[in-house]
Amino acid sequence: MAYEITLMTTIAISILFALSLNFISGFCGQISLGHAAFLGTGAYTSALMTKASIPFLITLPVSALTAGILGFVIGLTSLRVRHDFLAITTMGAGFLFVGIIRQQDFFGGEIGISGIPATGLGRIGFMSLCLALAAAFALFSILIRGSWMGFVFSSIADNEDVTRILGINASAYKLIAFVIGTATAGVAGALYAHHFRFIGPDSFGFVESISVLAMVIVGGIGSVAGIVFSAALLSVMPLLFQFIDDYKLLLYSALLFAMMRFSPDGLAGLCVRTYRKLTGARA
Amino acid sequence: MLYLELLIQGIVQGSIYALIALGLTLVYGLLRILHVAHAALFTLGGYIGVIVTNQSGSLVFAMFVAAILVGLVGMAIYKLAYEPLLNQPPFIALIASIALFIASEELFRIGFGPYGISYASQPLTGHLELFAGFRLKYAEILVIGMSIIILSILAYLSVNTRIGVAWRASVTDPSMARAFGVNIQNVRYMNFFIGSALAAIAGVLVALLNNFVEPTMGSVASYKALAIIVLGGLGNIRGTLLASMLLGVIEAFGTIYIGHLIDRDALAFGFLIIVLMIRPQGLLGVK
């Protein structure tokens, strides 16, 4: 049973993290290649606090706050650049985060922080918390997508200039998306730190940013259900592929490539097309 | 003396960056694709260079083989991976490229072992004594010299030959170029061939400097080359060269003076972000 609990917790955290990126990249169309930095911010905030024996549940909102503030700052800088420039700027922010963490003794430097105390909720309690938070954010995402704000987001994603001409303050909405997305990533980070009980600079590097973007894109960018499914699938995949140990990453990247090459709109798009083919309906 | 040494170190590193980033910026200028897998071609070039040198004993021959083989691989990547994705949003090609890059790193690791390989006997180990204790390694002279020669030849060809003009026309305005009878397809193939061959030469040169190639030697190069072409103003060749040199020199000095605050790789991106805040279109980019 213990194994399944660990697995479920991992999946829930991945889903929360992937949905938080979906808020920025999926809804608002702002591609971020440095999202792991916000997971890291939340994780370090929470880990340092619980190590100073502050109760875990109090650290959750604080982690959201610090990650959200950092997200606000990065969001502000991102307002000046668009498209590919934005992708590279966020990637740069990710590298900067890891580069700074690595050199500071306060954050444990290269070695990271180990011996993070338990949450006091018990394994099942912690798993339920993770699942509940992931489910709540999924619900929140769906609500937002159907709201007026959601329409503004998708119009920004579609064509930002037209949105501005309509008299909408696109910058403000982009910032809102950034802050909500990064604050949620901070919460996911706090959960991450207390799930693995060890964090280091390498846990939040470029590979992590890419894997979460892969979850969003494989699921079908913007599709909440697709992303929940793909985040669950991609986070257990390395465990399922344990038997081919040495070829794990090769297979993962080959699948990712094949996905982009043959079904760029992700699993959601693949399902829709298959369904149409089976029922003979026309697009 | 320390300043001079750091400056030379920066210029050597900057020349390598320039050779890698030039191919990347050409791809971006033509196709608007951020070609991360370019760094895999750099690694492939390094491996071919070391293996062929070890087998044949000739570094020059190895460099030719690496440039031509990797150039062909680059064309194949365009044909198989990017051409079908040209009508998709740009991030699709970007993710595909990153996937391709991770896959090739794994292939290098599985194919050649995780610990890397070296030259059987390292070529060009000597150094030139310029003045009072100031030395320049032959390999370093080769790196700077080759970059200057190759880039000058390319600059000359792009101005003075038909195909060079066709190439520049396609970068500026593809549809207009097509209307004037330029075969865009051929220009793209040539673009990938030359860009990849340059990356391969950079790979051979880095292998020579370090006497070592390893599966992950491309990973830092790939992201940093992206930073460089963004710094230069995407698709802008002069900007790319300027940014490569600047970054090489800034890294050389920064590692010594503020290396205890942030590490070398973060330095490049910190510089990138500062520049983009002041000039969102890059150093020499046009709005």
CB contact under 8 A, B99 and A246: no
Give the gap in angstroms from C-alpha B128 to the nearest C-alpha of chain A. Answer: 36
Give the gap in angstroms from C-alpha A174 to the nearest C-alpha of chain B. Answer: 17
Confidence check: pLDDT of A39 > 90: yes
Separation between Cα atoms, residue B244 and residue B183, nearest integer Å: 31
B144 neighbors B245 (Cβ within 8 angstroms):
no
CB contact under 8 A, A214 and B95: yes
Decide if B54 touches A, using CB distance below 8 A.
no
Separation between Cα atoms, residue B90 and residue A89, nearest integer Å: 16
Decide if B99 touches A, using CB distance below 8 A.
yes
A180 neighbors A80 (Cβ within 8 angstroms):
no
Q: Which pLDDT score is estimated for A179?
A: 93
Separation between Cα atoms, residue B11 and residue B126, nearest integer Å: 19
Confidence check: pLDDT of A282 > 70: no
Confidence check: pLDDT of A237 > 80: no
DSSP annotation of B117 reads B
ipTM: 0.78
- List the single best residue of B98, B101, B277, B279 to mutate versus A (max A Cβ within 10 A): B98
Cβ contacts of A118 within 8 Å, gap of 6 or more:
A194, A197
Q: Which pLDDT score is estimated for A15?
A: 92
How many helices and strands (H and E) does chain B possess? 11, 2
What's chain B's average pLDDT? 83
CB contact under 8 A, A103 and B34: no
Q: Can you read off the two tokens belonging to residue A190?
A: 């706090």
CB contact under 8 A, B85 and A264: yes
Nearest chain B residue to A101 by CA distance is B262
Average pLDDT on B166-181 reads 81
Rg of chain A's alpha carbons, rounded to an integer?
A: 19
Nearest chain A residue to B90 by CA distance is A84
* Closest C-alpha to B37, from A50, A5, A256: A256
Average pLDDT on B71-99 reads 86
Average pLDDT on B52-71 reads 89
CB contact under 8 A, A102 and B263: yes
Q: Which pLDDT score is estimated for A242?
A: 66
CB atoms within 10 A of CB B196: 32
Separation between Cα atoms, residue A98 and residue A34, nearest integer Å: 10
Q: Which of A39-43, A165-169, A189-193, B195-199 has the lowest mean pLDDT?
A: A165-169
- Fold assignment, B2-120+135-278: ABC transporter involved in vitamin B12 uptake, BtuC (1.10.3470)
- Residue for token pair 């460089």: B228
Name the A residues in 165-224 with CB < 8 Å from any B CB. Answer: 206, 210, 213-214, 217
What's chain A's average pLDDT? 84
Average pLDDT on A76-103 reads 81
Separation between Cα atoms, residue A96 and residue A73, nearest integer Å: 14
Average pLDDT on A6-32 reads 88
Q: Which pLDDT score is estimated for A55?
A: 85
CB contact under 8 A, B262 and A99: yes
**Cα angle at B109 between B107 and B114, to 5 degrees?**
175
- Of residues B212 and B280, more confidently modeled: B212
What residue segments make up the domains of chain B, in order of their start?
2-120+135-278
Decide if B102 touches A, using CB distance below 8 A.
yes
Nearest chain A residue to B225 by CA distance is A88
Confidence check: pLDDT of B287 > 60: no
Decide if B30 touches A, using CB distance below 8 A.
no
Separation between Cα atoms, residue B136 and residue B130, nearest integer Å: 7
- Residue for token pair 């979460």: A212
Q: Which pLDDT score is estimated for B76?
A: 92
Instruction: Give this prediction's pTM.
Output: 0.83
Q: Which pLDDT score is estimated for A243?
A: 67
Residues in chain A: 283
Q: Can you read off the two tokens belonging to residue A200?
A: 């280091």
CB contact under 8 A, A250 and B106: yes
Provide, rounded to the nearest whole percent, the portion of chain B with pLDDT above 90. Answer: 8
Q: Which pLDDT score is estimated for A20?
A: 92
Nearest chain A residue to B96 by CA distance is A257
Q: Spell out the domains of chain A, with CATH numbers in brackets.
A: 2-243 (1.10.3470.10)
Amino acid at A168: I
Q: Which residues of A touch B34 (CB under 8 A)?
A: 84, 87-88
**Cα angle at B195 between B192 and B196, to 5 degrees?**
80
Among A84, A247, A249, beta carbon nearest to B234? A84
Nearest chain A residue to B102 by CA distance is A253
- Ranked by mean pLDDT, the top range of A89-98, B193-202, B253-262 is B193-202
Among B223, B263, B282, beta carbon nearest to A206? B223
Confidence check: pLDDT of B191 > 70: yes
Average pLDDT on A268-275 reads 80
CB atoms within 10 A of CB A204: 28
